Amino acid sequence: MSWYLLGVVTQSVRGGSPAQYPIFNRAIECTWALLEFFMYAQYKSHDDATLSYMEDAMHRFHIFKDVFLLGRAGNKVKAKAIALRTELVKKRKVDEEIDAKTWMQSKKRREMNTWRDYISHEIHVFKESEANFHHPMILLMSHSVKEIR
């Protein structure tokens, strides 16, 4: 799987919008760095050069890993995000009850779309702020280089 994963990712993200270019490029770089580390780690013997390549790959992984931050949102973060969404929807309903009677249908639709975008944005920001890469495996990768040395 590791032999063709980078190729699959690179082909999958071709032809995105200009706003997506930096995200996709970072995703490719991060995948590349981790797979490169894995390929070097499989060497039967190491010297200073291969170990420095491993450290370089590890460094690049850490530079670009933020692109996958939302994928690190675990069940606790998701549960909190659902609670936040419920709270925001309740707030929207209260506003709707107060103002909806005076709104025209088109105004109501616009307001609803604005609310939906606002809630999605808030959930996105919340997940990004709560998710993290605090996982022992990532640190163990760093230690592997030292242990091999």
Residues that bind another protein (CB under 8 A): 1-5, 7-9, 11-13, 16, 20, 23-24, 27, 31, 34-35, 37-38, 41-42, 55, 58-59, 62, 65, 67-68, 70-72, 132-148
3-state DSSP assignment of residue 73:
coil
Q: Residues 25, 51: contact at Cβ < 8 Å?
A: no
Residue 35 vs 81, nearer CB to another protein: 35
- Closer residue to another protein, CB minimum distance, 70 or 100: 70
- Identity of the amino acid at 40: Y
Residue nearer to another protein on the CB measure, 71 or 101: 71
Find the Cα–Cα–Cα–Cα dihedral 26, 29, 34, 40, rounded to 10°: -170
| Per-residue burial over 48-64, b = 16 or more CB atoms within 10 Å of its CB, e = otherwise | eeebebbbebbebbeeb
Which residue, 54, 67, 55, 115, is CA-closest to 90? 115
State in angstroms the smallest separation of the CB of 148 from another protein: 6
* CB of 95 vs another protein, minimal distance in Å: 28
User: Judged by CB, which is closer to another protein: 118, or 133?
Assistant: 133
Closest separation in Å from C-beta 98 to another protein: 34
Min CB(112)–another protein separation in Å: 22
